[in-house]
Amino acid sequence: MRGAFLRASGARFFAVAATLTSGLVNLKLYGHFLTPDIYGVVVVALQIISYLPMLDGGFRMAVNRRLLATGESSERRALTVFSQEVYSWLLVLGLMAGAILMAGYASFPRSHVSGHSTALLFLAMGCSGALSMFAGAQAGLLLGLGRQAEMAIISGINALLGTGVLAAALWTNTGLWAFPISQLAIAAATYGLAIGLLRPRRNSIPLLKFSLGEKFWCLFRDIRREAWPAFRSQTSIVLLFSSDLILASFFCKPAEVAIYGVASRVLGIIRSFLQTFNEASWPFIATHAQKFHRLQDWITHVNSLLYGLAGGVLVALLPGFITWYMGSSWQLPAILCWLLVARFLVIGISAPASYYLIGKGDFRNIARHTEYELISGVTLSLLLGMSHGLLGIAVGYLLGTAGGTLVPFWWHYAKLRERTLTSLLRTAWALTLLGFIPGWFCARFLSAYLPFPHQ
């Protein structure tokens, strides 16, 4: 089991490293080819499109977990066929939803970009986003079949491919159309690679299946009891990490939204890198949790130490890095950086507890606390954003995250692990502080030798 976990983690490290590389290159491309005003419009459209995978209603997560938990070949085949039926219909729904969402965004006054036909552009982005959703679902089936390493490799390859296509399109003067072109390239590559890996083992399972027979409805009624809390948790998590950007588009200028979006993107990339072991762990927890406990403790301790180290470096260097890397017009206020990093730490340190709950199938508690966190963050941001702009939004979401994540996930985790809550929290935050202080001091020392502007 340890060897399989390390192989899966290694593949995820490749995927995250590729995502990190492509993310940094993308930011450079944005800074070179787009102004903050233009990117502030596009980034909101991209964020809206990222909501399309939520249309699956939690069935992908529920089906994958069942596939991991069963070894019976007939049941696995039935679940795989059911998955294809669900996503065949969701492809149609996704195309319609993408078009409707993008038409709505195109009618928003702040979405207009001078010199660009944004309505047609956003429609193309919505359709390409739906195709990406469907292709990603095919790759996601690999996870349920116990082949998460291959799924991670596909993700890494597509991250690099998407950046390459985006760069080529921008350099050939396609303008903002480079974004839907890049999305289509990713969708085609994801679909091709996933089908190439799945087909030898799929025993003539059709790529598209629109029939809704008795077997489908029988499985649908059975799985929906687990899919609904999974959907609630997935939806609330996605909105939790993106709704602040949407709210910022209402209260702030596009240039401010762009800078906020870039900072959030950098933190998201780093968070993806740091929680590689956590993401790789939950399928193993789903199949044999008891054998995984010692390794789970190691993951929890290393996670806290690494997040603390990263947090110290980020508060010292992130504002200067963004200005140096993106250009002089992209300036992140230091106080906003501290607020974003504080939320980054609260979320990141609780990751081992969150993924353990996912592995145990405790979607109800994940959904309940994440929904509370989301509602609190949105409510506080609406109140503070009107008067304090980006700072108000950042404070609102930090307080909401603290209320929903700081203790509740750890409480359920402690209960499942038969540990005391205070000892888990004390150890996690002590290790975080142990990493944060040297990370901050080292970053401050190195800043004198780096080409970053000083704040």
- What 8-state DSSP symbol labels residue 242? T
Q: 295 or 391: whose pLDDT is higher?
A: 391
Q: Identify the pLDDT of residue 202.
A: 46
Alpha carbon of 9 to those of 2, 4, 350, 442: distances in Å? Answer: 10, 9, 19, 28
Whether residue 151 is predicted with pLDDT greater than 70 in this model: the reply is yes
How far is C-alpha 443 from the geometric centre of its chain's CA atoms? 27
Residue of 133, 138, 132, 131 whose CA lies nearest to 84: 138
Q: Identify the pLDDT of residue 114.
A: 60
**Tokens 């996601």 sit on residue:** 140
Q: Identify the pLDDT of residue 211.
A: 75
Residue of 17, 12, 27, 431 whose CA lies nearest to 262: 27
Q: Identify the pLDDT of residue 173.
A: 84
C-alpha torsion sign, points 274, 278, 283, 284: positive
pLDDT band of 454, cuts 50, 70, 90: low
Q: What CA–CA distance (Å, rounded) separates 308 from 293? A: 23
**Tokens 């990117």 sit on residue:** 39
244-268 confidence digits (pLDDT tens): 888 888 888 888 888 888 898 889 8
Q: Identify the pLDDT of residue 58.
A: 81
299-323 confidence digits (pLDDT tens): 889 999 999 999 999 999 999 888 8
- For the chain, give every domain's residue range: 14-224, 241-455
Whether residue 338 is predicted with pLDDT greater than 90 in this model: the reply is yes
359-390 confidence digits (pLDDT tens): 777 778 888 888 888 888 889 998 898 888 88
Q: Identify the pLDDT of residue 367.
A: 80
Q: Which amino acid is present at 412?
A: H
Say what percent of the chain tops pLDDT 70: 91
Q: Identify the pLDDT of residue 71.
A: 65
Query: Which range, of 2-11, 20-29, 117-126, averages the lowest pLDDT?
Result: 2-11
pLDDT band of 5, cuts 50, 70, 90: low
Mean predicted lDDT score pLDDT of the chain: 82
Longest Cα–Cα distance of the chain, Å, equals 68
